Amino acid sequence: MLFCSTAYFVFFCIVFAAYWAMPWQRARVWLLLGASVYFYASWNKWLALIICVSTAADYLIARGMDSPTATTGRRKLLLTVSLVGNLGLLCYFKYMNFFLHSVEEALRAMGAESSMPVLNVMLPIGISFYTFEAISYTVDVYQRRIQAERNLFHFMLFITFFPHLVAGPIVRARDFLPQISRSKHWNWARLHLGIQYFLVGMFKKMVIADRMAGFSDPVFADPASFGSAAVWLAMLAYALQIYCDFSGYTDMAIGTAHMLGYKLAPNFNLPYLSANVSEFWRRWHISLSTWLRDYLFIPLGGSRVSEWKVSRNLIIVMALGGLWHGAAWTFVVWGLLHGMFLIVHREFRAFCERRPSLDRALQSPVGTVGRIAATFLCVSFAWVFFRATTFSAAIAFVKRLAFWSDGSMVELTFHSCLTLAAVVLVCHILMYIEFWKRMVERLPPAVLGVSYAAIITLTLILTPETAKVFIYFQF
Amino acid sequence: MSSHDTAVNTRAERRSKRSRRNRAVVAWTFFGFVALQLTFFPASMLWPPIQDGEYGHKIVNLRNHLKQKPADRPAIVMFGSSLTGWGLNPGAMSNVKAAPSRGAVVYNFGINSSGVMVELACLKRLLNAGIRPDLVLIETHPWFLFEGYNHVHDKHHFFPVNRTQLQDFSVFMRYDANPTQLVFDWAWNHVIPWYDHRHDLQNTLLPKWVPREKRIGVWDYTDQHGWEGGLTSQSTPLTPAEVLASAKYHVEAMSYAPIFPESERAFREIVAVCREAKIPVTLVRMPEMTVMREGPPAFTDKVEKFYADLHKDTKVRIIDARAWADDAHFTDGFHLYPPGSIAFSTRLERELVTPFVASFAPSAGTNLIR
């Protein structure tokens, strides 16, 4: 059930009406839990059972760790069980075939003949997201940052809350669990905010991302049959597609949560206006980057170690971050590229600090625009490996980028893509100068409301016929 | 009242004002959205292509023809399926092409993948839209005497629900075996009408935004008289053996099926509707391959009996055009290639259009009531 489908529209209307019609907080929690399980089961009911069982196990483990009689050894053991269980499920469903295939390839490269079995498993949608949520919860309980949740239903709702279940944001227990216990009151401001988020997300996903997909998909499928101009444009189109797809999903999730009285953490903050890659990661997929920082980078020593170790930590974190996205070497290369960009940026920053005139030039408006453009190009280049289905396809794409060749252009929707790219740029600038915020505050309610309705209708009209699944659903 | 109380009151007042503003915004959004969705229905009446590109373009085109047509020339409209769409080529008729400003309007209202119930619905739509032809021609072919050929793929509907108009319910509800399901499917396809019909809308208004393989664009291959001959170049041609095999397969399939009573009822209703509107009506038995005409008795007997009974009961004129095209003129056993459409159309002109034009009495009234 996609957020941008008629089925979801009907589903949400029913949940929303029933939720606010109920006077009891406990019943509302049950309703949301039931709706979330139904939402997940609409893809596959057996996978919904897996998430329920693993969530119940994490609940019990955390209770065990939080017990006053629990010794340090027992707590450690329980944490290990939780980590092994969660990561084991993730590895089994997501990485097992990848590992087996990689071993087979490695053996073949060494001259040994081998045939590894292929597991016929279905990837539970959103497993990477809810696994990270569960891990952060048990680690936080182990480190006594939070207390274990007493109420099983509350804990299950924390993991399965349908707006964030399949593609984040990765919520933290300390942010979300207290919200469940708090009784909710109807709030027009919250509803207004939710509608704003939802319609912005809808526009990003349905109009821009899906339209850009029409341009980038054929080129990524067979880059060799297109000219360099088409390949460059496809790379830029994909950069816009993935941003609008994922941030569109997040906006819709945040909007839906607001309408139900919940607040989810922001996940994006105009990432393509970042002036360097380090800043990009503070603005892109914020819930994942902070998770990686808190549960991987800092435990590895963070940046308070020698320069060599910081670089090593960055490479490890980004490579694992890449692998988190998908079970393929292309994702690992994407992560490694970002790790390298971060290291280069650190070095370059240190270099600039020793040269104040260069630093001033880079901080000037023209220098900032140049840095934003350079960062955007680096990030867009890395997306090639993220998007390519195989390593050889990525290399073919990069060759076309690097060595100019004439060839066919994507006739399809070229004009629409250019128009929409201009719309994205203008929207970014408007958001940056807070024009949108000022308009929302100043416009008369009738004008504002009808404008929202018109934007929703325009979005619906411009949506391509075939709805695309959100890219991050596969992770 | 202390300064603290005043501050609290001011804060509360500000909060209440903000709340009222937010409530108004939400209410305007909701009602604005519902109102905008409802505008789809009058908009689709004003500009039919946004709901159904093929039908919409045809009715807009027909209306333009009728506006330009001198009052003393007749308007002849032929309803049917793709057999008509590809087969009737009014541009090949001398009555139409020789003197466009003085000639008769012969318009091809064939709708792809339709059947007799859709012919009835289209006839009623045109009458409801204030279009009154001087002569109605109704395509008939053995296909449409059988149940399976009248339905949209696996659904027990006669037309895709997203192309079904509210006014069609007066027809389809009486013919559909599961009217409740039809209503449900139609409602589900119109929950958010601007969204549900975006494909037609984009195809009509922003064709360059639609991927080539998703373009409907039937009207790109349709000429000003409604002939869809350009579509023949879009399908892969079959070999003569394949054409023959296809025709034989269908004859075989139809030999075992009983005549669909709803088809018979629909043909009779078409005749009744035309008579009520005082419009002469003629059934045209469309060209078919020899293998069909000379099919097994199990097939030909019941088909011939059907037409004989229909003629006996309704006295409707039935033109037998089955042999008006050579076997080599068929794309798949039923649809005509352009040379076949020329052969069929010129013969139809000779047999029917020219005598009708000659005897046409201009006092019959205007073709465009609205």
> Are the Cβ atoms of A462 and B198 closer than 8 angstroms?
yes
> Are the Cβ atoms of B192 and A462 closer than 8 angstroms?
no
pLDDT of residue B101: 53
Q: What is the pLDDT along chain A (475 residues), one digit of tens a residue?
A: 777 777 888 899 999 999 999 888 889 999 999 999 998 888 788 888 888 889 999 999 999 988 888 788 888 999 999 999 999 988 888 888 878 877 887 788 777 776 767 777 777 888 888 899 999 999 999 988 898 899 999 999 999 999 988 777 899 999 999 999 888 888 888 999 999 999 889 888 888 888 888 888 888 888 888 888 888 888 888 998 899 989 999 999 999 999 999 999 889 988 998 999 999 999 999 999 999 999 989 888 888 888 888 889 999 999 999 988 888 889 999 999 999 999 999 988 888 888 888 888 888 889 899 999 999 999 999 999 999 888 888 888 898 888 887 776 665 556 666 777 777 778 777 777 777 778 888 889 999 999 999 999 998 888 887 766 666 666 6
Give B252→chain A minimum CA distance, Å.
38
Radius of gyration, alpha carbons of chain B: 26
Q: Which of A133, A167, A184 is the last residue of a domain?
A: A184
Could you write out the three-class secondary structure of A126-169? Answer: CHHHHHHHHHHHHHHHHCCCCCCCCCHHHHHHHHHCHHHHCCCC
Q: Which member of B25, B198, B212 has the closest CB to residue A460?
A: B198
The pLDDT confidence band at residue B27, using thresholds 50, 70 and 90, is: very high
Q: Does B26 touch chain A (CB under 8 A)?
A: yes
Question: Residue B27: its chain A contacts at CB < 8 A?
Answer: 449
pLDDT of residue B4: 66
Helix/strand/coil for B63: helix
- Residue B98 reports pLDDT greater than 60: no
Q: Which member of A188, A449, A454 has the closest CB to residue B19?
A: A188
- In angstroms, the CA A61 to CA A82 distance is 7
Among A249-263, A421-435, B145-159, B205-219, which range has the highest average pLDDT? A249-263
pLDDT of residue B142: 83
Q: Does B169 touch chain A (CB under 8 A)?
A: no
Percent of chain B with pLDDT over 70: 90
Same domain flag for A131 and A212: no
Q: For B109, list phi and psi in degrees, rounded to 5.
A: -105, 35
Q: Does B24 touch chain A (CB under 8 A)?
A: yes
Q: How many angstroms separate the Cα of A177 from the Cα of each of A30, A95, A173, A185, A216?
A: 14, 30, 5, 17, 40
Q: Which CATH number fits domain B46-360: 3.40.109.10, 3.40.50.1110, 2.40.50.110, 3.40.50.2300?
A: 3.40.50.1110
The pLDDT confidence band at residue B152, using thresholds 50, 70 and 90, is: low
- Residue B365 reports pLDDT greater than 70: no
Same domain flag for A139 and A88: yes
pLDDT of residue B153: 63
In chain A, how many domains are there?
Answer: 2
In tens, the pLDDT along B292-317 reads 888 788 778 888 889 999 999 999 99
Q: Does B209 touch chain A (CB under 8 A)?
A: yes
Same domain flag for A180 and A196: no
Same domain flag for A162 and A204: no
pLDDT of residue B2: 66
> Are the Cβ atoms of B32 and A454 closer than 8 angstroms?
yes
The pLDDT confidence band at residue B251, using thresholds 50, 70 and 90, is: confident
Q: Does B211 touch chain A (CB under 8 A)?
A: yes
Q: How many angstroms separate the Cα of B353 from the Cα of each of A127, B13, B93, B109, B345?
A: 69, 79, 9, 16, 10
The pLDDT confidence band at residue B1, using thresholds 50, 70 and 90, is: low
Q: Tell me which of B271 and A94 has the higher pLDDT.
A: B271
Same domain flag for A288 and A322: yes
Q: Which of A135, A156, A184 is the last residue of a domain?
A: A184
**Mean pLDDT confidence for B92-118:** 79
Helices (H), chain B: 3-38, 40-46, 53-68, 82-87, 94-97, 116-128, 169-175, 179-188, 193-196, 198-205, 240-256, 261-276, 290-293, 297-314, 338-348, 354-358
What are the tokens at A149? 């949740």
- Residue B100 reports pLDDT greater than 60: no
Give A457→chain B minimum CA distance, Å.
7
How many beta-carbon pairs under 8 angstroms link A with B?
Answer: 101
Give B345→chain A minimum CA distance, Å.
37
> Are the Cβ atoms of A460 and B18 closer than 8 angstroms?
no
- In angstroms, the CA B172 to CA B158 distance is 7
> Are the Cβ atoms of A412 and B18 closer than 8 angstroms?
no
Same domain flag for A311 and A342: yes
pLDDT of residue A391: 84
Least confident of A48-62, A219-233, B206-220, B348-362: B206-220
Same domain flag for A134 and A153: yes
Q: Does B184 touch chain A (CB under 8 A)?
A: no
Residue A61 falls within a domain, yes or no?
Answer: yes
Say whether A325 is catalytic.
Answer: yes
pLDDT of residue B210: 78
Question: Residue B32: its chain A contacts at CB < 8 A?
Answer: 449-450, 452-454
The rounded mean pLDDT for chain B is 84
In tens, the pLDDT along A257-309 reads 999 999 998 899 889 989 999 999 999 999 999 999 999 898 888 888 888 88
Q: Which residue of A has its CA nearest to B216?
A: A465
Cβ atoms of residues B263 and B116 within 8 Å: yes
**For residues B35-73, b (16+ Cβ closer than 10 Å) or e, as one string?**
ebbeebeebbeeebbbbbbbbbbbbebbbebbeebeeeb
Q: Does B11 touch chain A (CB under 8 A)?
A: no
Top residue of A198, A205, A451, A452 to mutate, by most chain B CBs within 10 Å, is A452
Residue A475 falls within a domain, yes or no?
Answer: no
Domain that holds residue A36: 6-184
> Are the Cβ atoms of B26 and A10 closer than 8 angstroms?
no
| DSSP at B69 | S
Nearest residue to B335 via CA among B141, B150, B159: B141
> Are the Cβ atoms of B211 and A450 closer than 8 angstroms?
no
Nearest residue to B35 via CA among A10, A453, A252: A453
> Are the Cβ atoms of B32 and A412 closer than 8 angstroms?
no
Catalytic option among A164, A258, A325, A345? A325
pLDDT of residue B73: 83
Same domain flag for A167 and A279: no
Percent of chain B with pLDDT over 90: 29
Helix/strand/coil for B204: helix
- In angstroms, the CA B344 to CA A106 distance is 69
Give A416→chain B minimum CA distance, Å.
6
Q: Does B25 touch chain A (CB under 8 A)?
A: yes
Domains of chain B, residue spans: 1-38, 46-360
Same domain flag for A355 and A385: yes
Residues of A with CB under 8 A from a CB of B: 6, 9-10, 187-189, 191-192, 195, 211, 214, 411-413, 415-416, 445-446, 448-450, 452-454, 456-457, 460-466
- Residue B350 reports pLDDT greater than 60: yes
Give A385→chain B minimum CA distance, Å.
25
Same domain flag for A362 and A398: yes
> Are the Cβ atoms of A461 and B27 closer than 8 angstroms?
no
pLDDT of residue B67: 85
Q: Which member of A214, A450, A463 has the closest CB to residue B195?
A: A463
Top residue of A210, A439, A457 to mutate, by most chain B CBs within 10 Å, is A457
Q: Tell me which of A360 and B147 has the higher pLDDT.
A: A360
Same domain flag for A179 and A201: no
Question: Residue A445: its chain B contacts at CB < 8 A?
Answer: 21, 24-25, 28
> Are the Cβ atoms of B202 and A450 closer than 8 angstroms?
no
Same domain flag for A144 and A288: no
